[in-house]
Structure 1
């Protein structure tokens, strides 16, 4: 075969040389070419013999080809898991940004002389929550369940490797604990001693929130290598997708307990119980805070899937529709009551819509989300007026937004379920939200009472008049400006 391939080429070269070289050179070249061709013929013969020998013997069985389809499926599953972890961590980062939102809302709705105190509380309650949740809270909430009531292990998390999937889940959960904790700060603003508030923050993030959270979400860490048993509410069929009750009603109930124990701000109500306006010093800052909270809520609700798939789309749509409807409903209803649109109630109406959609964002349609938001806005207005008439001073409206709409959102899971209404499910939802918020209120009321007796909870009237920035921190947030107040 080699001869057949090379012979034409050799002849062509020989012919070319015959035209360009003398006869002696041509004869010498032809002799060399004949020698080369003979060697090639010998090589070809040897190759033919080897090929015949190999063909005569039985060939070894060939290795089975790799299962390309199985390998591709495994690679896709691994990729999906990694995308899930990235989505959970990104969502947790968005929820962390909500700390800034809460701080801005509280700052804007409060007076300038308390600004440093507010910033310190919002920084420190998250810092305390992080440490306490690492060493205690996470295990109580997601550890192996003791009868569905409390977790019993997974404390410290010291036995997990650097690439363990549990870390992304822990990060997502700690920012939720911080959110529940900081809700109380705004309600009790401008008259609460700093040390007393820090003590409360440790108890809520370490005991109260993990305890009630275990009842509803106890099994959620099972897919990440911790616990896995259902809490008693979860076993009954209780559903709180992203925390209308577990986070917001819990935090709102603690806020209600706190403002009852600490009392109203100096000058908030007259001797006859008539309310007096204490205006916030920076409403644009409060509005910025609401925008930040709304933005972070896309991670709050969307990330609660713990899975990056197409379901995220409708969840974030519902998380957009409900607060928009809530803001409109709150603005129109208060406009009707007092004859003018109120910026504070409008902002809180949006937050109420966000809290209301949190539990049900995954199992209702956008049309139902609109209804949930409308009613949440109305509830925010009614509850705000109701607290004022009861002479209960909530500086930022945390109780109407988080407690009342936390109840509403949890009940909406059954009321607007796209699969249809179920009376039994509605009963379970009602039981769950009352159990969580009721337990949180009782425990927090006791804690605030004890803290008040041991270290003091309420700032004196003089301290409130001077401002907590001066009395608690010996500082001034706006040293280049002079602030005034009107009675």
Structure 2
């Protein structure tokens, strides 16, 4: 066997090192692209929210709700860049003596990305795209509230509460649950700080949907119902079923960035992302089918109508998506179907309760996101698979109480975490929306509301053929 010279050996070692370096860089670039793709899908959900919202309200307020959805994305981006991202994720734990705390992010790096350099590009854009990915989540949380205050909220108040939710209320919950330093985080290795096993909320049933949904509940309650809402409910039906359907499909499509994308990488996590995709699909499908028959067959006293209700079916489908979001990576596919069914029930009864309490929520934002998000958070403690917990890096893996190997700790962690988040969101929201109301800047004047916000604030109807019709009905509900 021929021997090689030292020079040839050194050359081979050098080439091997170069190949390994190139391979590592390629893997980082693939992960960056994966997050870029996922964040683009999540951002597309803004179009879904806008379309669904427009179709679910009266035609005379379409311009107004669409503008507010646009501003959600704009205001959210600036506030998340300046403040929100730094409060949510503390990138400086252990750097220059800084120690992250469990309540809120405090390290300087992520405030306005002030310490993020781009000189060497060693992480191949991962730092940059992580900001974009997390921004897309933050914008979604704020947008949920817009549906609950539709048709009667002042634009200025809307901008204020969007900034507060994106810049404080939501980031604090993100830090608790998703930052490894957070006291509710399942990725926190400090047993003296972490509560039980920590909360497993893979993609945001609690962090995103409960925050948005419970804030929406408080906003709708403080703002009060639309004029005539309970006296003549037949006049308040959504004006466009096609827009509702399109919005629902856009949101479902975006959820494939929301849930699978929460692996934060594809290299080494492809199996988890693929499983999350399947459970996402099944949760949505089960929710939609269940909602269709729940509304059709339940007795009238339980909220049934005897009809195949399209809007109710779409909201039930979205409730299934919300419900499966927390556990999409740690449950079996059959469990996603069960969760979808119960999420549809949770949505239905929460929606009925809101009506009985006469809290006017035009898009059922609380029922879809708040109630189903709570159910989805708790269901992780029922159906989680211990081995799947290990696969996503949970520090103290546990199984749901219906699964083998359970200690019951995870159910306790999920319930306690949900309660803490609800208390935080409700208290902050009461202060925020109560202050806006006390200042007299929360609700539009009655004459503007009756005429329609498009005519009153935006120069005419969203549908040119209806501009004159809107004026004719300016003195009616």
Q: Does 1:388 align with 2:343?
A: no
For residue 293 of structure 1, report the CA deviation from its aligned partner.
Answer: 0.2
Equivalent position to 1:295, from 253, 256, 259: 253
For residue 201 of structure 1, report the CA deviation from its aligned partner.
Answer: 0.5
Q: Does 1:313 align with 2:258?
A: no
Whether contact under 8 Å (1:216, 1:234) holds in the other structure is: no
User: Which is richer in helix?
Assistant: 1
Deviation per CA, 1:52-78, whole angstroms, max 9, x where unpaired?
A: xxxxxxx98545342366554443332
- Distance between the aligned counterparts of 1:483 and 1:418, measured in 2? 57
Residues 159 and 146 of structure 1: is their aligned pair in 2 closer, same or farther, counting only changes over 3 Å? closer
Specify the alignment match of 1:147 in structure 2: 101
**Higher gyration radius (CA):** 1
Whether contact under 8 Å (1:194, 1:472) holds in the other structure is: no
Q: Does 1:95 align with 2:47?
A: no
For residue 81 of structure 1, report the CA deviation from its aligned partner.
Answer: 1.5
Specify the alignment match of 1:416 in structure 2: 383
Residues 390 and 277 of structure 1: is their aligned pair in 2 closer, same or farther, counting only changes over 3 Å? farther
**What is the SS of the residue equivalent to 2:238?**
coil
Moved more, 116-125 or 64-73: 64-73
Specify the alignment match of 1:161 in structure 2: 117
Specify the alignment match of 2:78 in structure 1: 131
Specify the alignment match of 1:84 in structure 2: 31
Which residues in structure 2 correspond to 1:23-422 (within 5 Å)?
62-65=7-10, 66-67=12-13, 71-143=18-90, 144=93, 146-153=100-107, 154=109, 155-162=111-118, 163=121, 164-219=125-180, 236-270=197-231, 276=234, 278-308=236-266, 309-336=270-297, 337-419=304-386, 420=399, 421=401, 422=406
- Distance between the aligned counterparts of 1:441 and 1:230, measured in 2? 28
Residues 245 and 61 of structure 1: is their aligned pair in 2 closer, same or farther, counting only changes over 3 Å? closer
**What is the SS of the residue equivalent to 2:24?**
helix
Specify the alignment match of 2:391 in structure 1: none
Moved more, 62-71 or 205-214: 62-71
TM-score normalized with structure 2 length: 0.83
- Distance between the aligned counterparts of 1:297 and 1:148, measured in 2? 29
Whether contact under 8 Å (2:79, 2:167) holds in the other structure is: yes
For residue 234 of structure 1, report the CA deviation from its aligned partner.
Answer: 7.4
Specify every segment of 5 or more residues in structure 1 that has no aligned partner in the other structure, as ranges. 1-58, 222-227
- Distance between the aligned counterparts of 2:309 and 2:282, measured in 1? 21
Specify every segment of 5 or more residues in structure 2 that has no aligned partner in the other structure, as ranges. 94-98, 183-187, 298-303, 387-398
Residues 483 and 158 of structure 1: is their aligned pair in 2 closer, same or farther, counting only changes over 3 Å? same
Equivalent position to 1:480, from 445, 465, 472: 465
Deviation per CA, 1:445-472, whole angstroms, max 9, x where unpaired?
A: 2101111222511123321110011223
Deviation per CA, 1:69-116, whole angstroms, max 9, x where unpaired?
A: 655444333222111110001100000000010011110000111011
- Distance between the aligned counterparts of 2:347 and 2:290, measured in 1? 9
Residues 375 and 60 of structure 1: is their aligned pair in 2 closer, same or farther, counting only changes over 3 Å? closer
TM-score normalized with structure 1 length: 0.82
For residue 146 of structure 1, report the CA deviation from its aligned partner.
Answer: 4.5
For residue 156 of structure 1, report the CA deviation from its aligned partner.
Answer: 1.2
Deviation per CA, 1:428-456, whole angstroms, max 9, x where unpaired?
A: 10111121122111101210111122251
Whether contact under 8 Å (1:267, 1:276) holds in the other structure is: no
Equivalent position to 1:447, from 421, 432, 435: 432
Aligned pairs, number: 421
- Distance between the aligned counterparts of 1:139 and 1:235, measured in 2? 26
- Distance between the aligned counterparts of 1:354 and 1:60, measured in 2? 62
Whether contact under 8 Å (2:196, 2:409) holds in the other structure is: no
Moved more, 171-180 or 236-245: 236-245
Whether contact under 8 Å (1:196, 1:452) holds in the other structure is: no
User: CA-atom RMSD, angstroms?
Assistant: 2.4
For residue 181 of structure 1, report the CA deviation from its aligned partner.
Answer: 0.2
Deviation per CA, 1:101-133, whole angstroms, max 9, x where unpaired?
A: 001111000011101110111011111110011
- Distance between the aligned counterparts of 1:299 and 1:417, measured in 2? 21
- Distance between the aligned counterparts of 2:21 and 2:436, measured in 1? 55
Whether contact under 8 Å (1:216, 1:233) holds in the other structure is: no
Whether contact under 8 Å (2:196, 2:412) holds in the other structure is: no
Moved more, 258-267 or 60-69: 60-69
